[in-house]
Amino acid sequence: MGNVTSIIGGGIAIIIGIIGLINWWDSFAVIMKGFLPLILLLGGVVSLAAGISDIKKTSRPEKKR
């Protein structure tokens, strides 16, 4: 019974989301224009930090016990 409820709820959410995007596309586009640079900036920082961490990890000789 719980799976059927999830499927029905998900379908209703998708339909309402599509209707919302159609009706408020201009507002959605403005929000995306504001968030996209922020998302790219944060993603770049995380990627850069992961790359630097990986370089430090591979360049450091491992200690044997």
Tokens 């992961």 locate to 50
Mean pLDDT of 9-15: 96
28, 21 contact by CB (below 8 A):
yes
Q: What are the pLDDT digits (tens) for 13-61?
A: 999 999 999 999 999 999 999 999 999 999 999 999 999 998 988 887 7
Looking at residue 59, its amino acid is S
Quick one: pLDDT at residue 10?
95
Domain boundaries, the chain: 25-65
The band of 65, judged by pLDDT with boundaries at 50, 70 and 90, is low
Query: Residue 64: its pLDDT value, please?
Result: 67
CA–CA gap between residue 3 and residue 23 (Å, rounded): 30
Residue 52 is classified by DSSP as H
Cα gap 10→16, rounded to integer Å: 10
